[in-house]
Structure 1
Amino acid sequence: MSEHASKILKIQNDLSCRLGRTSSLTEALQLCVEAGMEAAGMELGGIYLVNREGGIDMLCHKGLPEEFVRAVSHFDKDAPRMKILMQGNPIFFSANNNPLPESVNASGAEYYKALAVIPFKHNGEVIGCMNIGTAASEEISGIAAQALETIGNQIGDILARVRAQEQLRESEEKFSAICRSAQNAVIMMDARGRVSFWNNAAETMFGYSETEAAGRDLHDLIASGEQRQAFRRAFSSFRETGRGSFTGKTVELAAVRKNGEEFPAELTLTQIRLKGEWNASGIVRDISQRKREEAEKQNLQQQLQQAQKMEAIGTLAGGIAHDFNNIIAAINGTAEMMLKSKHPESPDFVRLERIIKSGLRARDLSMKLLTFARKEKLQARTVALDAVIADLTDMLRGTISRGIAIRTRATEPGLHIHADTNQILQALLNICLNACEAMPEGGAVVIETGRAAVGSGEALEACARPGAYCVVSIKDSGHGMDETALRKIFDPFFTTKEPGKGTGLGLSVTHGIVHEHNGFISVQSAPGQGTAFRVFLPEAAPCEEPDADPQRAAARGFGKGAILVIDDDTDFNGMIAEALESEGYDVIATHSGPQALEAFKTNMEIIDAVILDMILPDMDGTAIFRALKELRPDATVILCSGHSQKGKAAALLEQGAAAYIQKPFLLSEIFEAVQRVVHPSGTDE
């Protein structure tokens, strides 16, 4: 064997050994170009590899000037020289030999005198080429050409293997980086149901480290008891067929953390065939936050539906109360007038008292309906919360069983609210009476007041405004309520009492009153554990206004003056006219707006006061009131109605109405109101 042949063989052997030890494509290319340069005895070299687009890129070079490398670093697949290269034959350039067509420019020819382009192949396809050149000689010897071809034939398969290994390694690194940085848990399960991959998000979600999870049964690790069995049954089929009830789908499950805590999760499973066996990959999402948001949304929708239902029923109740109150007012007023003429020993006296008593009970029921429907607070003012609670306890002690103790506690004395005292008392009394009825064998009602700061989250849930609230807590030791009853306690006409023992309006009225005072109510209860109501009312700054309502002066003597009555109810008109006339007043009764205005124009100088119903079919109370004031700005108007639409009565009081009387009323109330506005000094003169 010649010395040159021995040299070439040694270069080949050394190259094979070095390529076998490297897994780096860059290092392998460098070894190949250096071996080619050594074998050919040339000082310039570079290696191109075919890229995915079919062009070639220079990935390694030695001895070449940078400007030359920039000029020849890439050729597209459509370049003319590419067509020649892809034929797979070696190409040799020299000063006397340029095999390229004249149309193809020999780029960089100024940097070398001789150049060999040696393609290398894998599975019969060209995958790149090795370019070895020199600026020292104008020809490439036959020995050098043969040596380069020998090395070219050697390195094709090796470079393809190294390149494939590097691409695989890069792919694995990318996969690992993507999976480990994913926000959702990425898990793989082998053919035996054991964990084979467990990313960082899985560690965070389930509490097991990758080391703890690896090799463990996946079903035992993440699924709750019932679903664990379902997964096991599905897995048996999956092992055989690659199909199961959970594969290729997104399902919800109750997952379990390392500490035993269950949480809602969403699982997407995909089957993977590895080494002839079915494996599975899964993406697990913790949907706890989504479930909370869905629950909050559902809660808000329920609150909206409840509010709409309450508003609809309130409108209906208000209309019923208006008509009902007119009827009661006529019945009670007529009975009161008849009672005046009867001796207390007369059977008719007792009968009339019974009518009046029943009428008052009907009035109480009607007032509950009206309070439920009402959208305004006619007598709202700043009051001390302690005084309200004192009045409440006085009322309770006079009505409840002696076996029930009333206990009060003020954690922060001196709190004030802006409220209609009577309405708030009614709201709190309704809760307290319900509490007492829940303790038929006795117990305790604890009434506690304090202050609370309501944040935006709690306020949003309660459909209220964030800020400072006074809180009245009412707790009982009664039998409590289940969740079904809790959801319905504020529904109109819902009651847990026996038939005939409740109307189901008490807590509906309470809810309406508190809501109209810009407050809200929270309730906690469980069977056998009693019930706790917390009534939140916006805190108000104290003022100099006295807390107690001023006592009205009782009507004295007989009346004197002319009264215009405007009401579309004929029976009411007849009753009120008769009652006022019995007190000495002259009465002009009218049934419509136009009739009333005409009567007022005719008798403007002698009319001392007007009793005006707020709702008439042809012309409402507001329009009549304004027309009266236009005719005579100092006209004295007493508003009187069985139902007042939102804000109208309050607005008219601010615009100069003298008083408001709620139907149905006792005759003494209307006598007092008329006496007060017609004769403010208390005399008839």
Structure 2
Amino acid sequence: MTSTHRTPRGPILVIDEDASVINTYAPHLEACGYEVMTARDGHAATQLIAVNPPDLIISELRTPAMDGHSFFRHLQRRWPEIPVIVTSTTCEPTEVVACLRKGASDFLIKPLKNMDMLSLSVSRALREIKLKHQNQRYKELLEQRVSRSSEELKTTNRYLTELNRRLTEVVDSSRRLSSCVTIESFGTRLLEEFSHHLDASGGSLYIAGQEGLRLVHCLDGGHAPGLISYPVAKSSPFGYALYRKEPVLIGDIRNEGALRPSGYGGYHNGSFVIFPLQNQEGKPFGLVSLHGKKRPPFVNQDREVGGLLASYSSETLRAVRAMEALSKSEEKYKLAALTASDLISEWSPATDDLVWFGNIDAVIGSAPETRPTTMEAWLSLIHPDDRQRIADTYRNKTHCATAAPMDYRVRHLSHGWRHFRERTTTLRSKGGATKVLRACNDITREKNAEEERIIFELKMQHAQKLESLGIIAGGIAHDFNNILMAVLGHADIALEEVEGNPGPQKALNSIVTAGKRATELARQLLVYSGKGKLETSIVNVNTLVSDMMSLIEVSVSKKVRILFHPGRHTPHIEGNLSQLRQVVLNLLTNASQAIGNASGQIEIRTGKVFCTRSDLDACSMPVRPDVDAPLPEATYTFIDIDDTGCGMDATTRNKLFDPFYTTKKTGTGLGMAAVLGIIRQLRGTMTVDSTPGVGTHIRVLLPASLAAVENRKQPEAPPTEKPIRQQGGLILIADDEEPVRKISQRMVEKLGFSVISAKDGREAVSLYKAHRQKIRCVILDMTMPGLSGSEALDQIRIVNPSAKAIIASGYGSAPSESDLAADDSCSYLQKPYQISELKQVLREMLNGSGLPAKPE
């Protein structure tokens, strides 16, 4: 593998006081292509290294003036990156161990009977240091990518936090607007609130009248006309907003060809935002216009925040207009009350008479004989939690001209509770009699909408967080698989080169084992992100759990009793058998760990259940908006797992499916995240009920299948490995990752083929066109810039419809199963793959029927 940041190659320094040793080592190393420097002791070597640092040092343990141990300490302080091979006539184990602990790459016993041992040790040490440098670069690259993704998430979070803060302030503004009792005072306060929330210096409020739009208030007087006559031209910003019946955002009026500016020259910039005020039927009765953005222009978030404030304002302004009309004359307010959509009533405290001037029966479901005609009867309909507060307000505020708005709940005689907002004004006649005018708004719809909005926002934020983590997990797994491809590939090749040498073989086998464990971790990340490859079959759930019982009993504590209650008519399901085992085993392992060292019980049940829409909506598994389609109402196969463990609190339940979240000291936090990814791919869901100190109940719901389980064939003896027919020929490899491309090339060359490589899909197509007569097979990476592997293969098939191809991917997302089944000249290879897997796939491709003859 060739690094993209390669530095000029340096020499090898040989240190030995014995000139015959130097005269033996130097010619052999020079014959192997290395440049050689020599020194007789440690001091001379230090001076040479300071002038021309070597790639590698071969040093005698016993040197005059400065022994090998002192020399090692000096090297570690000044040049820790230079590998050292120690030579010595002594073979004392303590000496060997001491040198290796101090950082020596190898220890050779003199005299060397075979100089090939020296060249092998040198090449291995240089290769190891090169791999360390490359791994460090891969680590830095991965950290950079994770940092960029993290910054994007932080930016989104800051945006949502700012929007939530502004919306919260809008709710506070609506309460302040509710205290206004005249159109003029309302207009002044309304523009002040808009100016504050939208950071605007100018604006105006217009209300529809008989002749046109009448100016109620203006923040920057001198340019807004007092009356805009009907009809309002649609080509004007106001007319356009009234015609659209929705907020209008204009970034720069000078760039709007369809809208005509007013001609006023005092604007700081041409950015506007206009909000129509609408009645309950959706008809505009006024508008608010804002300009003079202090930091122009207005943005979409200003439009959203202002639109919500305009919606609140419309409701409040309707009540203010009604109250203003009522305060002018009794006849006028009665007429207004009878035609208004809100409830208006008059209460006489002296007699407790309550007279209604609106359709009270339609609002609370009463009849003329059950209609509340006294305040006592009205208070009996108010929710018990609100009743005393409202009664105290009536008793204490009857001497006030106006009272603050009151929100409370009123019982509908047939359909539960309704939310009301009431404003009161006290009038006194010349004779001293007191009457209280009450305007009541039914705000049930707004209250329910606000509660639904809050719940939706919480679900949206949680789903966005999980979706973002899924994207990051998939990207990390893809890059991780490419890195593991290089590590495992080089380890495979190195194992062949050191065959018969137990020491290096053991170390390399450890590398392969660790690499395979890392591969499993990457596959769990791919499953969580929804990009894992699944091969499905029809599975009998009862048989699945029964076959796992012996494994389950070994995996859980000996103090835990496991009971399995299989359902008699449990439907089959379609899924990947190994991943379904992983789901069951992960859930049972969590249940056992929740019980801990205490005695406890785990019960497993299977069966079928029909799930309605409300049942599915109540499930605990998070849903990704615009990604996960709603699950259908249907019959589902369930797997229930109940334990008597410690249970989970609300915080743990909310973070249950988050990747890398764990309450265990040694956990990875990927168990439940992998379960989530598997169940999502199977179009299922889960419910989780848990009480701290009592236990946990988990139900997995998977779509039931009516298909029968295929009979399992007895495993046959593995066939004798067949060689690849017509060994040799040219293979084309295309991959945008150079380390992967290089190690794939070495693997294919080890199998006896010639190789040409391309760094992307376009270059692969071009090379295939140039060498089509010689190329026997192409190996294409699934995800490449420009042309993907599938797209490149489509263009290659135009040149040669029978071209043999292998698609490789680190995402685990293969071409569709139907495509692979119909195309026997295309196969799939999951990264990271080893040389044995590559050999198997190449054998299947090149030993098939209809292959062209081997090129001469």
TM-score grouping bracket, smaller chain normalisation: 0.5 to 0.7
Over 3 Å counting, the alpha-carbon distance change for 1:374 and 1:201 in structure 2 is: closer
| Contact in 2 for aligned 1:193/1:217 (Cα 8 Å) | no
Alignment of 1:408 onto 2:576 = no
SS at match of 2:811: coil
SS at match of 1:502: coil
Over 3 Å counting, the alpha-carbon distance change for 1:355 and 1:544 in structure 2 is: closer
TM-superposed CA distance for 1:317, in Å, is 2.8
TM-superposed CA distance for 1:564, in Å, is 4.2
| Contact in 1 for aligned 2:530/2:680 (Cα 8 Å) | no
TM-superposed CA distance for 1:470, in Å, is 2.0
Match of 2:757 in 1: 590
> Where in structure 1 are there 5+ consecutive unaligned residues?
1-170
Alignment of 1:509 onto 2:674 = yes
Relative contact order higher in (CA < 8 Å, ≥ 6 apart): 1
| Contact in 1 for aligned 2:561/2:601 (Cα 8 Å) | yes
Query: Counterparts in 2 of 1:53-72, with a 5 A limit?
Result: none
2:702 to 522, 533, 537: 537
2:833 to 665, 678, 682: 665
1:222 to 382, 387, 399: 382
Write the distance in 2 (CA, Å) between the matches of 1:618 and 1:286.
55
> Where in structure 2 are there 5+ consecutive unaligned residues?
1-329, 624-629
Query: Counterparts in 2 of 1:483-494, with a 5 A limit?
Result: 483-493=650-660
Write the distance in 1 (CA, Å) between the matches of 2:536 and 2:783.
23
* 1:595-627: CA deviation from partner (whole Å, max 9, x where unpaired): 544555566566554433212234310122223
Which structure has the greater CA radius of gyration? 1
Match of 2:634 in 1: 467
Match of 1:136 in 2: none
Alignment of 1:614 onto 2:782 = yes
| Contact in 1 for aligned 2:403/2:423 (Cα 8 Å) | no
Write the distance in 2 (CA, Å) between the matches of 1:186 and 1:475.
57
Write the distance in 2 (CA, Å) between the matches of 1:194 and 1:350.
97
Corresponding letter in the other structure for 1:524: D
Write the distance in 2 (CA, Å) between the matches of 1:312 and 1:356.
32
Corresponding letter in the other structure for 1:381: S
1:265 to 414, 419, 422: 419
Corresponding letter in the other structure for 1:471: F
Write the distance in 1 (CA, Å) between the matches of 2:768 and 2:720.
26
Match of 2:520 in 1: 364
2:577 to 397, 409, 421: 421
Corresponding letter in the other structure for 1:466: E
Match of 1:384 in 2: 540
SS at match of 2:608: strand
2:398 to 233, 239, 259: 239
TM-superposed CA distance for 1:362, in Å, is 1.6
TM-superposed CA distance for 1:403, in Å, is 3.2
Match of 1:60 in 2: none
Match of 1:450 in 2: 607
Match of 1:321 in 2: 477
SS at match of 1:571: helix
Query: Counterparts in 2 of 1:38-57, with a 5 A limit?
Result: none
Corresponding letter in the other structure for 1:637: A
Write the distance in 2 (CA, Å) between the matches of 1:351 and 1:446.
44
| Contact in 1 for aligned 2:685/2:701 (Cα 8 Å) | yes
RMSD of Structure 2 on Structure 1 (CA):
4.6
TM-superposed CA distance for 1:367, in Å, is 1.1
SS at match of 2:595: coil
| Contact in 2 for aligned 1:385/1:417 (Cα 8 Å) | yes
What is the TM-score normalised by the length of structure 2?
0.49
Write the distance in 2 (CA, Å) between the matches of 1:195 and 1:490.
60
Write the distance in 1 (CA, Å) between the matches of 2:681 and 2:500.
44
SS at match of 1:324: helix
Over 3 Å counting, the alpha-carbon distance change for 1:223 and 1:598 in structure 2 is: closer
Corresponding letter in the other structure for 1:487: N
SS at match of 1:332: helix
Query: Counterparts in 2 of 1:268-287, with a 5 A limit?
Result: 268-271=422-425, 276-279=433-436, 281=438, 283=440, 287=444
Write the distance in 1 (CA, Å) between the matches of 2:786 and 2:815.
17
| Contact in 1 for aligned 2:347/2:436 (Cα 8 Å) | yes
Corresponding letter in the other structure for 1:482: D
Over 3 Å counting, the alpha-carbon distance change for 1:616 and 1:552 in structure 2 is: farther
Over 3 Å counting, the alpha-carbon distance change for 1:638 and 1:343 in structure 2 is: closer
Write the distance in 2 (CA, Å) between the matches of 1:325 and 1:623.
22
Over 3 Å counting, the alpha-carbon distance change for 1:296 and 1:453 in structure 2 is: farther
What is the TM-score normalised by the length of structure 1?
0.59
SS at match of 1:464: coil
1:674 to 836, 842, 846: 842
Write the distance in 1 (CA, Å) between the matches of 2:388 and 2:763.
83
Over 3 Å counting, the alpha-carbon distance change for 1:255 and 1:571 in structure 2 is: same
Match of 1:480 in 2: 647
SS at match of 2:481: helix
Match of 2:212 in 1: none
